[in-house]
Amino acid sequence: MPKSPSTSKNKAAPTKAVAKPKTAASKPKAAASQPKAAASQPKAAASQPKAAPAKPKAAAAKPKPAVAKPKPAAAKTATVTYGVGTAADPWLLKTPPQSSEYQAWKDEDASPPALVVQVGSTRLSYQLRCIEDLAAMLKRQGDWVLLGNADEGKPTPDGSVEAWARSPKNPVGGYYGLRKGYRGRFANYVPPVLELLGLIELEHGPRNNRAKSR
């Protein structure tokens, strides 16, 4: 009877010793799984540099406003000079419809003193007193007066500026024009001079323009 207990103890001891290595063997599996998570971390870190290249794009857009700044400064140089009305610095004008440019100046040494008009290669001249005489006539009228532009010898509308500028009843008793064959077109070239001097108001439509004293 005393032998049987010792035999059972010896048999049970080897069973417990064999079970312990199984638990120890399972631990390396968990440890082996950890490197996988660690290996996944470099992927997230590798994705971060992708957002960094986008920063230079915003920096590249900053120089654009600096390029646009010189434009307003260039516009300041675009000025118009009307001259002082001498041969060296003539008035730069446009006909009432604003369709043609020409130059005009006073020649007070001419006999009689003249208002000279240069249209391309053609030169016309009118008695210089026409500036004051036309301003006085429009002031007496007190209302709009049709210009009625016409060449020398061509019919003119009654009561128009052109008709007055060749009428025997005007202050000079006929044409203000001095160059034979080019004594017309008074209403085309003289009223813009008075407008520039601030003496009259002038319409600038395509046709049938009028003038009025200020």
For the segment 84-138, what is each residue's pLDDT rounded down to a tens digit?
999 999 999 999 999 999 999 999 999 999 999 999 999 999 999 999 999 999 9
Helix, strand, or coil (residue 151): coil
- Residue indicated by tokens 């323009």: 209
* Top-confidence residue, 25 or 175: 175
The domain spans of the chain are: 3-75, 91-213
Sheet holding 91-94, edge to edge: 91-94, 101-107, 114-119, 122-127
Q: Give the model's pLDDT for residue 30.
A: 42
For the segment 4-48, what is each residue's pLDDT rounded down to a tens digit?
444 444 444 444 444 444 444 444 444 444 444 434 444 444 445
For the segment 137-156, what is each residue's pLDDT rounded down to a tens digit?
999 999 999 999 999 999 99
The one-letter amino acid at 94: K
Q: Can you read off the two tokens belonging to residue 53?
A: 């290249």
Q: Are strands 122-127 and 145-146 parallel, antiparallel or unpaired?
A: unpaired
